[in-house]
Structure 1
């Protein structure tokens, strides 16, 4: 039992603490490293793997989307129901100050794209200089430098204002906290909640879960596919924000990545 779980047992009722602990999930914690990168490794930034047969993704103005990150599942710990191999790649619109996010419709894919390639046997496109024609335009880049991603299998409990907490515990997060804890105790508890780049597990939001007031979104995008958090050195979403990509669990099991919801928010 870690310090967060110990504090939950100390502050909350035995029944609530038991429900929270019972909802513990495995996930893959991701870390940015300085290890050597390739075009097929797990990484953020740089140039990703894109087979020559696949059209490069563009925004509604025909400008190229920017490679954000890719996960090579062969390099990652095994975690059901995620793939055991293949490359999952994420692209976003950095010509847009919202980085491809449509606040009115988080399902709108015009500003982002997700690809899954079952293998990397097909030669990749030469994407060097793809943004050269736009070097004088204002770009809202999220990743400063290319970094390799390594993954470690870990565990997480639901602790935050997101739909999975309500589904698991049967209570509103802040309602439960405010009924049982002082403001200082809530702050102490939240300071212990890990905020990590991840595959799977539970999401983190600096603002509001966009699925909270839309049952359709909550049902259709019920699994955290990928989360990328800001750090002080290399990744920045607005003012130290967090980005999440969600998918339906059944579609994930079927390796269908055609319908992924994208969200990011910041302080």
Structure 2
């Protein structure tokens, strides 16, 4: 048998493949619009699409930032899509990212909502001197259709407060209060809540696994969890061993290739810190015929639920990762 390698500063320690979660987390679902490529649909300026030319009325010219013309990723026309809770029911949402070698990874994106789609389309796609974008041909748009469905968290969602590994799962009680501890790829997560039917998560904090840039090895992770358990017990909590029977396997899956709402899906890791309140605005995966984020990567756009309900897309964030 090959001896396991010691983790280095740049290599995290291996964790079990079968990620697990408590059954009350596994039961959570979110509504989502599953978006499918529809090459049979005409590519008009207002069509929901990946790539191509977005709707550009005189009031909304093609956007530029410090790097020049941005990269157009996708457009969603809510008048032709199923109604999704908290999302607009009319108008168009457009997603742009910075045109640089990282395809906007470390720069703010632009999520632009055009509420009224009655002005004539007058703009055009810019000519790029250098186009590192994910589309092989930025001028060719691929229309989309959408189906409303639901989505449950899977291994590839990597929401830190839902997905953990077998390297640590502890449930403690103090009266009606409870606390859970578990380890993810990058964090040790502490959650608090109260028992009122289905447990409700009221507080979440993360204990990073790599202080000073160094990864904690599996033994150190267990030691850290043990110290947190000791702190909780000193505060009146007690480990509830019966909750071990409520740990289930996290479903394996990559969700949808293209989607609005639902859960994000990642190839490598979620760059948001645990407890980040943002939700998935849109997920754009890779498709050989249309769009490719490096090596079959995936992009996610995030928004705070309050901003989404207020139709405020000014604080949308963006990340993508690749195999």
The TM-score, its normalising length taken from structure 2, stands at: 0.63
SS in 2 for 1:163: coil
Q: What does residue range 110-149 of structure 1 map to in structure 2 within 5 Å?
A: 112-128=109-125, 130-131=126-127, 134=128, 137-144=129-136, 145-149=140-144
Shift of 1:122: 1.8
Q: More helix per residue: 1 or 2? A: 1
Q: Is the 8 A contact 1:158 1:164 kept in 2?
A: no
* Greater Rg by CA: 2
User: Structure 1 regions of 5+ residues with no counterpart?
Assistant: 1-10, 103-107, 181-185
Aligned residue number for residue 194 of structure 1: 255
Matches within 5 A, 1:1-267: 16-21=22-27, 23-34=28-39, 35-61=41-67, 63-94=68-99, 96-102=100-106, 108-109=107-108, 112-128=109-125, 130-131=126-127, 134=128, 137-144=129-136, 145-160=140-155, 161-163=158-160, 165=162, 171-172=182-183, 189-190=251-252, 192-212=253-273, 215=275, 218-219=276-277, 222-267=278-323
Structure-2 change in CA distance of 1:12 and 1:246 (3 Å): closer
Moved segments of 4+, more than 4 Å: 169-176
CA RMSD of aligned residues (A): 3.0
Q: What is the TM-score normalised by the length of structure 1?
A: 0.76
Name structure 2 gaps, 5 residues minimum: 1-17, 165-170, 172-179, 190-217, 219-243
Q: Give the 3 Å change call, closer, same or farther, for CA 138–53 of structure 1 in structure 2.
A: closer
Q: How many Å apart are 1:119 and its aligned residue?
A: 1.4
Alpha-carbon distance in 1 for matches of 2:297, 2:61 = 30
Tell me the matched-pair count: 228
Cα contact 1:164–1:202 (8 A) shared by 2: no
